[in-house]
Amino acid sequence: MTSAVTSALHDSALLKAARGEAVPHTPVWFMRQAGRSLPEYLKVREGIAMLDSCMDAELITEITLQPVRRYGVDAAIFFSDIVLPLKAIGVDLDIVPGVGPVVAKPVRTLEDVAAIPDLTPEALPFITAAVRSLTSELAGINGGTPLIGFAGAPFTVASYLVEGGPSKEHAKTKALMFGAPDVWEALMVKIADIAAVFLETQVAAGASAIQLFDSWAGALTPDDYVRHVQPHSARVLERVGSLGVPRIHFGVGTTNLLGLMGDAGADVVGVDWRTPLDRAIPMVGDRAVQGNLDPTLVFAPTEVMTARAAEVIEAGRAAKGHIFNLGHGVIPSTDPDQLARLTEFVQSYPLD
């Protein structure tokens, strides 16, 4: 990549906000912006299983670019899934439509953990190819649009591996954490290493920032988070930090954990829609924040949605930096035209 491209990306609103520098407008992107809310996504995915589409560099590139073309958002989020690296090393799992990731043989013992192979970049040729083609395409969009790479954080990925599928209470996961600390430690070390390699591969190929999704960390008390989870997330974030890209760290229902998730080594703390930014910002301290419009507000009249977006932007001004997002992923029945109007509103909102 030429240095002109690198410097345009460096000066993009997203990366400036992540570093806490002044921005021309509040940068905006949406978690799950690529996916089922877009007719063009449903069309290219027809007849192709989710995880197969995540292993096809051309499809990854097309799907990742779709929301950037449609909305002109300030970042692309890499199209993949938090369980993709496990699939790439041969863990028997699938993503079942309408359900989520389902693991054939849940992990319960030290032998189960030992049976999970380590991840190497060589297992991810389609990731490297997709990131390379994406970063070259994105360099020409809106003066240079950054690509955000991502991975699932150890606790959230462990939850799928231990439960065998999606779970509300994460009871088996927490039972393992409380009752078999040696198995838990081995599992978290293994998954943290997998997440770090997955992120390092994306950054090495050209991703400009990363997001570590600990979607289900809100199931933990602060003490348990500190004792059993934070050190593992911290190791992942530290490894990626040494590559010099900003690190966003997000979870759902994490009002009690925002400061601790920042301390795990985030440059930007993602805030879900339940915690108003004016409460969240003092908790994250000297870090940028990302969020946090309630994703159901897109179903309200446009002027109601934009009035609430304005409140989010105004509250975000107290932070070191602010990246606008929804407070969790785009709901599949969202009208894309409403997200187009929201993007336009955030990008043209005057900051002086």
Catalytic sites, residue numbers: 32, 36, 45, 81, 160
Stretch that binds ligand CP3, among 12-20, 97-105, 194-202, 312-320 (CB under 6 A): 97-105
Q: How far apart are CA 48 and CA 305, in angstroms?
A: 34
Residue 329 lies near ligand CP3 (rule: CB under 6 A): yes
* Number of residues engaging ligand CP3 in binding (CB under 6 A): 21
Encoding tokens for residue 93? 């799992």
Residue 150 lies near ligand CP3 (rule: CB under 6 A): yes
Give the length of the chain.
352
- Tell me which long-range contacts 163-170 makes (C-beta under 8 A, separation of at least 24): 163/103, 163/106, 164/102, 164/103, 164/104, 164/105, 164/106, 165/99, 165/100, 165/101, 165/102, 165/103, 166/99, 166/100, 166/101, 169/219, 170/216, 170/219
Residue 33 lies near ligand CP3 (rule: CB under 6 A): yes
Q: How far apart are CA 319 and CA 322, in angstroms?
A: 6
Residue 95 lies near ligand CP3 (rule: CB under 6 A): yes
**Which CB, 60 or 113, lies closer to ligand CP3?**
60
| Residue 324 CB, nearest approach to ligand CP3 (Å) | 15
| Residue 35 CB, nearest approach to ligand CP3 (Å) | 3
| Residue 314 CB, nearest approach to ligand CP3 (Å) | 26
Which of 240, 232, 284, 289 minimizes the C-alpha distance to 260? Answer: 284
Q: Which amino acid type is present at position 25?
A: H
**DSSP state for residue 225 in the 8-state scheme:** I
| Residue 71 CB, nearest approach to ligand CP3 (Å) | 12
Stretch that binds ligand CP3, among 13-21, 95-103, 115-123, 223-231 (CB under 6 A): 95-103
**Which CB, 157 or 280, lies closer to ligand CP3?**
157
Residue 215 lies near ligand CP3 (rule: CB under 6 A): yes
| Residue 22 CB, nearest approach to ligand CP3 (Å) | 27
Binding residue (CB under 6 A) for ligand CP3 from 101, 265, 291, 316: 101
Residue 219 lies near ligand CP3 (rule: CB under 6 A): no
Which of 70, 64, 29, 80 minimizes the C-alpha distance to 137? Answer: 64
Q: Is residue 259 within 8 Å of 285, Cβ to Cβ?
A: yes
Which of 26, 7, 10 minimizes the C-alpha distance to 322? Answer: 26
Binding residue (CB under 6 A) for ligand CP3 from 20, 72, 100, 106: 100
Residue 35 lies near ligand CP3 (rule: CB under 6 A): yes
Residue 127 lies near ligand CP3 (rule: CB under 6 A): no
Encoding tokens for residue 186? 């081995």
Binding residue (CB under 6 A) for ligand CP3 from 5, 8, 50, 243: 50
Q: Is residue 67 within 8 Å of 6, Cβ to Cβ?
A: no
Which of 289, 333, 329 minimizes the C-alpha distance to 313? Answer: 289
| Residue 352 CB, nearest approach to ligand CP3 (Å) | 31
Binding residue (CB under 6 A) for ligand CP3 from 13, 82, 162, 195: 82
Residue 290 lies near ligand CP3 (rule: CB under 6 A): no
Helix axes 57-71, 125-138, angle to 10 degrees: 30
| Residue 160 CB, nearest approach to ligand CP3 (Å) | 7
Residue 31 lies near ligand CP3 (rule: CB under 6 A): yes
**Distant-in-sequence, close-in-space partners of 280: CB < 8 Å, separation ≥ 6:** 255, 258, 269, 271, 289, 291, 292
Q: Under the rule (CB under 6 A), what is the footprint of ligand CP3?
A: 31-36, 50, 77, 79, 81-82, 95, 97-98, 100-101, 150, 166, 213, 215, 329
